Amino acid sequence: MSRPAALALPPWLAHALRAQRAPVPWNAMMRGALAGGPLLLLAVLVGRPSVGVVAALGAMLAGINDRPGSRRVSIKRLGVPALAGALGLLVGTYAGQYAQTYAGQYVGAVALTLLLTSLGLLAGGMSAVGPVASGAGTQVLVAAAIGAGMPLPEPGWERALAYLAGAGWLLVLRLVLPTPAAFTAGDYRFDGERDAVAAVYDAIATLLDAVGSPHATARRAALTAALDHAQDALAGPRLRRYASSSAERQLHAQYAAALPLAEAATALAWAGDAVVGRASEGPRRLAAAVRDNTAPGPLPAPFLPHARLRSRGGTLIAPAVRALDDALLSAAESFDRGGDAQNELHTRRRTAGSLVRLALGVGGREYGLRVALSFGASAAVAQVLDHEHWYWLPATAVFLVKPDLGPLVSRVLCRAAGTVLGAVVFAGLAALLPRPEGLVALVVVSGALIPVATRHFAAQTAVVTVLVLALVMVGGEPQASWSRIGETLLACAIVLIVGHLPIPKGQRGGGVRARLTEAGTAAHAYLLHILNEAHEPDVPGDRAARWTLRREAYRTLAQARTTIALSGAELPALARHTEGTDEVAAVLERLVDTTTACAVDLDDAGRLTPRHTEQLTTLLDELARHQRQAGISLPEVPGVRLSTDLTA
């Protein structure tokens, strides 16, 4: 029985109570246990505990970014934020020392606050670029606050090296330690890569099973997520345009072979004609072959008994089924060949110019302004209070202001609850455990728990609170559980106030609008490519370019959907600024699905059917109407036109 509507929780509260579900990451937990704790113990044994504290902080922040994925992608995911954090620690240390030594008490505090505010504006804007940039922006600000306020005897350059050593040690563990997938497939080099590519074939099979049912849309979204994950997993060093070994070329080719299969499955889902169960057997066998690094064996041909059929070459067969059959045959040949050295990953890589445009666009400006105000105000208030651990206040504000961690009120509630829980637990343990070995053991246990705790912001906060308080005591400072609670609650209040400040018209909801504009641009580019092929039926189409555009359209749509969902879960005062954007995204998704169906039909007949052109026209009109209602202006692509000659 479903819950009555009157008893349904508001979105911001439901988000605070919801946690991600996934298998226990035993390997990541082992890396967390072997990262900060051993470094801290070594530093204590040689009489340099403060160096160990900084190294453990670097390992802790790197551990937060140690998410599931391929080993090679972790180089960028962990390394880039670590470099940014070391730079922030260096800048913060020397800025804090200058403010204390050469400037007066008040002048130095004002100068330091202005510097940190400016750094928040820059880092906040860059955080809008993507997940890695967001992690880098967070670490540079947290490390800058720690460097400016944490009393340590080491100079700035030594702190930065210790920080890099901690993060670098975790990265080494990520690259060196084996995973279960490596043993299963018999190849140590590939762990997340094989699982990611196999998951694509599994998602294709699941979509084929759902064709004609109400679950088809959700399964198509799951296929998009699997393709995005595989694309990221294969984007690491040496897995780029030209692979450097036969095993890499094979894995590369197996991913490329999934693209036409995904296209055909999406076209079948659009048509809505149910397929028999054996249609999904082929992709499932391919998934097992990728995962176990074996041959797939004979693949069954798909069969569609009730589809609308078209005569071609004396054979009656639906275009989408023909495409699925051809894609399965091509995939089987690709698996047998073991890949082609010249085969290219169908991905679009952002240029430096596009990254700068994202950072300086409406989304980057809005988030940068919010980060700067929260970070600067927290630093100013903390220095006025003249608290011994004043750097905790701005460092806490940095995490609270991150929109990818959930709606604002949800983040505040989780941060407050997690801090109170972690501080109380640490206070009890600190009274019982011997020092410093008991505190080092707490760091080891907390490091191991971080990969699991990242599934919920409150749990992550509780674990990090215990770890940080243990590091503070190892560094020679007194127990600080209760001041930690006070600083966190004050940071929550500051971020809540800043989050609800009036922003100039057109700037509020900038992150959503930026993502939606990016998705609209990609969708129109994909549609334009297909229409150009329809206008020139005698010219062979560039399938690689088509798959690249399709991947970009679905990927940007998925990112826009995630951003819209987070914005919609805010309090009504904030959520109202992005009303109507979900409808725009839904129409864009249907437009891209229809464009994919058109592409498959073009391959089969060389022209579009009236059903396709009517659907495209209807969707473009509907998109324009929803844009006006939501107050969003998506860029128009010159040359997008529909006419009867396309179906002649």
Give the model confidence (pLDDT) of 18-38 as tens digits: 888 878 888 889 999 999 999
Q: How many CB atoms lie within 10 A of CB 395?
A: 27
CA–CA gap between residue 219 and residue 204 (Å, rounded) = 8
Average pLDDT on 578-592 reads 89
- Judged against a pLDDT cut of 50, whether residue 213 lies above it is answered with yes
Exposed/middle/buried for 18, CB within 10 Å: 0-12, 13-18, 19+? middle
- Judged against a pLDDT cut of 60, whether residue 340 lies above it is answered with no
Q: What is the pLDDT of residue 258?
A: 92
Q: Angle at which helices 437-453 and 408-430 pack, to 10 degrees? A: 150
Residues sharing a CB contact under 8 Å with residue 419, sequence separation 6 or more, in sequence order: 461, 462, 465, 484, 485, 488, 489
Alpha-carbon separation of residue 149 from 73, 90, 145, 389 (angstroms): 33, 12, 6, 7
Q: Angle at which helices 481-499 and 392-400 pack, to 10 degrees? A: 50
Which residue shows structure tokens 């969003």? Answer: 632
Give percent of the chain above pLDDT 70. 84
Q: What is the pLDDT of residue 30?
A: 92
- Judged against a pLDDT cut of 80, whether residue 606 lies above it is answered with no
In this structure, what DSSP letter does residue 544 have?
H
Same domain, 168 and 31: yes
Least confident interval from 131-140, 307-316, 367-376 = 307-316
Greatest alpha-carbon pair distance for the chain in Å reads 90
- Judged against a pLDDT cut of 80, whether residue 298 lies above it is answered with no
Same domain, 29 and 160: yes
Q: How many CB atoms lie within 10 A of CB 25?
A: 18
In a domain, 11, yes or no: no
Helix (H) or strand (E) holding 312: strand 310-312
CA–CA gap between residue 235 and residue 485 (Å, rounded) = 41
- Return the amino acid letter for 63: G
Q: What is the pLDDT of residue 357?
A: 65
CA–CA gap between residue 557 and residue 577 (Å, rounded) = 19
In terms of phi and psi (left: phi > 0; alpha: psi -120 to 50; beta: otherwise), the region of 293 is left
What is the CATH classification number for the domain harbouring 588? 1.20.1420
Least confident interval from 7-11, 313-317, 393-397, 516-520 = 313-317
Domain residue limits at 517: 510-646
Same domain, 460 and 556: no
Q: What is the pLDDT of residue 91?
A: 94
Least confident interval from 289-293, 460-464, 495-499, 634-638 = 634-638
Read off φ and ψ for residue 310, nearest 5 degrees. -130, 135
- Judged against a pLDDT cut of 60, whether residue 241 lies above it is answered with no
**Coil, strand, or helix at residue 568?**
helix
Same domain, 31 and 172: yes
Same domain, 122 and 98: yes
Same domain, 147 and 194: no
Please tell me which residue, 309 or 375, carries the higher pLDDT value.
375
Q: What is the pLDDT of residue 225?
A: 92
Last residue within a domain, chosen from 468, 499, 530: 499
Which of 106-110, 362-366, 526-530 has maximum average pLDDT?
Answer: 526-530
In a domain, 82, yes or no: yes
In a domain, 16, yes or no: no
Q: How many CB atoms lie within 10 A of CB 80?
A: 16
Same domain, 33 and 159: yes
Which residue shows structure tokens 């006070």? Answer: 486
pLDDT band per the 50, 70, 90 thresholds, residue 6:
very low
In a domain, 8, yes or no: no
Please tell me which residue, 59 or 634, carries the higher pLDDT value.
59
Q: How many CB atoms lie within 10 A of CB 7?
A: 6
Q: Angle at which helices 246-271 and 543-568 pack, to 10 degrees? A: 70
Last residue within a domain, chosen from 448, 474, 499: 499
pLDDT band per the 50, 70, 90 thresholds, residue 553:
very high
Nearest to 42 by CA among 53, 29, 57, 31: 53
pLDDT band per the 50, 70, 90 thresholds, residue 342:
very low
- Judged against a pLDDT cut of 70, whether residue 614 lies above it is answered with yes
Alpha-carbon separation of residue 121 from 127, 310, 364 (angstroms): 10, 59, 9
Evaluate whether 511 touches 128 at the Cβ level (below 8 Å): yes
pLDDT band per the 50, 70, 90 thresholds, residue 633:
confident
Question: What's the total number of domains in the chain?
Answer: 3
Same domain, 160 and 309: no
Last residue within a domain, chosen from 337, 365, 396: 337
pLDDT band per the 50, 70, 90 thresholds, residue 234:
confident
Nearest to 442 by CA among 468, 460, 467, 469: 467
pLDDT band per the 50, 70, 90 thresholds, residue 353:
low
| Tokens of residue 346, six digits | 């169908």
Exposed/middle/buried for 102, CB within 10 Å: 0-12, 13-18, 19+? exposed
Q: What is the pLDDT of residue 157?
A: 94
In a domain, 2, yes or no: no
Average pLDDT on 270-275 reads 76
- Judged against a pLDDT cut of 80, whether residue 100 lies above it is answered with no
CA–CA gap between residue 110 and residue 118 (Å, rounded) = 12
Average pLDDT on 183-194 reads 68
Please tell me which residue, 436 or 363, carries the higher pLDDT value.
436
Average pLDDT on 364-375 reads 86
- Judged against a pLDDT cut of 90, whether residue 186 lies above it is answered with no
**Coil, strand, or helix at residue 316?**
strand
Same domain, 34 and 125: yes
- Return the amino acid letter for 552: E
Please tell me which residue, 235 or 496, carries the higher pLDDT value.
496
Same domain, 488 and 605: no
Same domain, 364 and 321: no
Same domain, 141 and 284: no
Nearest to 599 by CA among 532, 552, 644: 532
In a domain, 388, yes or no: yes
- Judged against a pLDDT cut of 90, whether residue 145 lies above it is answered with yes
Q: What is the pLDDT of residue 309?
A: 46
Distance of CA 454 to the CA centre of its chain: 13
Alpha-carbon separation of residue 144 from 301, 472, 595 (angstroms): 60, 17, 48
In a domain, 156, yes or no: yes
Please tell me which residue, 331 or 201, carries the higher pLDDT value.
201
CA–CA gap between residue 485 and residue 469 (Å, rounded) = 11
Average pLDDT, the chain: 82
Distance of CA 635 to the CA centre of its chain: 25
Least confident interval from 215-219, 308-312, 498-502 = 308-312
Nearest to 452 by CA among 467, 441, 463: 463
- Judged against a pLDDT cut of 90, whether residue 168 lies above it is answered with yes
pLDDT band per the 50, 70, 90 thresholds, residue 39:
very high
Q: What is the pLDDT of residue 338?
A: 59
Q: What is the pLDDT of residue 571?
A: 80
- Judged against a pLDDT cut of 70, whether residue 302 lies above it is answered with no
In a domain, 284, yes or no: yes
The terminus-to-terminus CA distance of the chain in angstroms comes to: 52
